[in-house]
């Protein structure tokens, strides 16, 4: 089957006075239809930059290489106008702060009607009806009344629902969500995540959720991609990666996370992510890794496949397994 989104070797380099900064470095993943992929990592790992490159909203000076296929169409090969037309229609984005996505001087209705008319060519009356249906779909109570409200008249959770409704308006093939629940309190956050799951269960839309919060990933994702310093350091099915992480960075993120019922105290990863302008020679994670060896400082690890669906960028992952179930050569 053609994946909803197929990203191959995507890189994004920004020109700066000090030279090129590669914020997204050779990232590849596939997002199946009806699947949710979580991209996790600390801030500055390149997660948001990657989403913006997929959506095509990087500044013109950004150099983007690689391939991005949306339901089989190569996005990076589309002329600018055709590319712009995909936004909101085939691929849409939900940002962290709903206020940036909403215009304070227009009612929710005016904004939804405008989106629906522009992309779907609906009449004003049809668009009005559909706006109310969309609010209902994202479980906003009394949608016929709420649709007349201005953004400031709604709570943060309601506003994020409106933004999600707007992103869903054209039934996109892929929904990109950048920290969609970070600005919300925990209970509202849980309800928004439920909403994502429901929407996704009833459509074959592919969803990419960028988050620094592993609990969010565990809650909604089928697959995860872990990023560090612009590169993928681990990827695979969410259950496997989050229950049995392979990469020291993923393990560190898990230990830093507060989990319900957890006995040990969360332990933050020491230090902070490296500056992209001054990446270590070898493994970018070496300065923070308690398993680092001399080899780690000298040689950059490749992304090593662990099996058909999992990979880890760590020299330790290349070591032969000590698992005793593996056949040991017999003495002659």
Q: Which is nearer to Mg ion, 13 or 211 (CB)?
A: 211
The site partner of 289 among Mg ion, ligand SF4, none (C-beta below 5 to 8 Å per kind) is: ligand SF4
Q: Which of residues 233-272 bind ligand SF4 (CB under 6 A)?
A: 248
DSSP-derived pairing of the beta strands 231-237 and 206-211: unpaired
Number of helices and strands in the chain (H, E): 13, 12
For ligand SF4, the closer CB: 108 or 289: 289
Q: Which residue is nearest to Mg ion (CB)?
A: 48
312 forms part of the interface with Mg ion (CB under 5 A): no
Instruction: Give 171's Cβ-side CA count (13 Å radius).
Output: 5
Q: Which of 176, 199, 296, 311 binds ligand SF4 (CB under 6 A)?
A: 296
Q: Does 250 bind Mg ion (CB under 5 A)?
A: no
Q: Which helix (H) or strand (E) holds 190?
A: helix 186-201
The verdict on 53 binding Mg ion (CB under 5 A) reads no
Interacting span for ligand SF4 (CB under 6 A) from 139-147, 187-195, 281-289, 303-311: 281-289
Q: What angle do CA 250, 256, 261 make, to 5 degrees?
A: 110
Contact call for residue 318 and ligand SF4 (CB under 6 A): no
CB of 257 to ligand SF4, least distance (A): 18
By beta-carbon proximity to ligand SF4, the closer residue of 241 and 296 is: 296
* Secondary structure E strands in the chain: 5-16, 19-31, 36-40, 63-70, 73-74, 91-94, 174-178, 206-211, 223-228, 231-237, 304-305, 311-312
The answer to whether residues 27 and 232 touch, using CB atoms and an 8 Å cutoff, is: yes
Residue ranges that bind ligand SF4, judged by CB under 6 A: 248, 283, 285-286, 289, 291-292, 296, 301, 314-316
């Amino acid at each position: 089957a053609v994946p909803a989104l197929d990203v191959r070797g995507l890189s994004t380099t920004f020109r700066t006075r000090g030279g090129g900064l590669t914020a997204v470095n050779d990232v590849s993943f596939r997002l199946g239809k009806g699947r949710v992929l979580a991209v996790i990592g600390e801030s500055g790992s390149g997660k948001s930059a990657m989403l913006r490159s997929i959506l095509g909203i990087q500044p013109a000076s950004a150099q983007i290489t690689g391939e991005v296929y949306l339901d089989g169409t190569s996005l990076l090969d589309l002329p600018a106008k055709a590319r712009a037309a995909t936004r909101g229609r085939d691929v849409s984005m939900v940002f962290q702060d709903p206020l940036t996505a909403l215009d304070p001087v227009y009612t929710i209705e005016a904004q939804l009607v405008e989106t629906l008319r522009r992309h779907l060519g609906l009449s004003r009356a049809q668009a009005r009806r559909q706006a109310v249906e969309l609010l209902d779909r994202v479980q906003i109570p009394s949608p016929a009344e709420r649709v007349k409200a201005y953004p400031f008249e709604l709570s943060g959770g309601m506003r994020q629902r409106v933004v999600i409704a707007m992103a869903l308006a054209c039934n996109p093939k892929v929904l990109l969500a950048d920290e969609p629940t970070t600005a919300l309190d925990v209970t509202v956050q849980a309800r928004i995540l439920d909403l994502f799951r429901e929407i996704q269960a009833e459509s074959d839309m592919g969803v990419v959720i960028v988050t620094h919060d592993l609990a969010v990933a565990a809650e909604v994702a089928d697959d995860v991609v872990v990023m560090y310093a612009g590169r993928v350091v681990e990827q695979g099915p969410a259950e496997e990666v989050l229950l049995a992480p392979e990469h020291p960075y993923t393990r560190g993120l898990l230990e830093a996370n507060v989990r319900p019922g957890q006995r040990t105290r969360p332990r933050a990863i020491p230090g902070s992510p490296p500056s992209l302008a001054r990446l270590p020679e070898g493994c970018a994670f070496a300065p923070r890794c308690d398993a680092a060896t001399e080899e780690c400082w000298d040689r950059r690890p490749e992304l090593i496949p662990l099996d058909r669906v999992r990979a880890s960028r760590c020299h330790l992952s290349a070591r032969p397994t000590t698992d005793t179930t593996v056949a040991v050569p017999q003495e002659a």
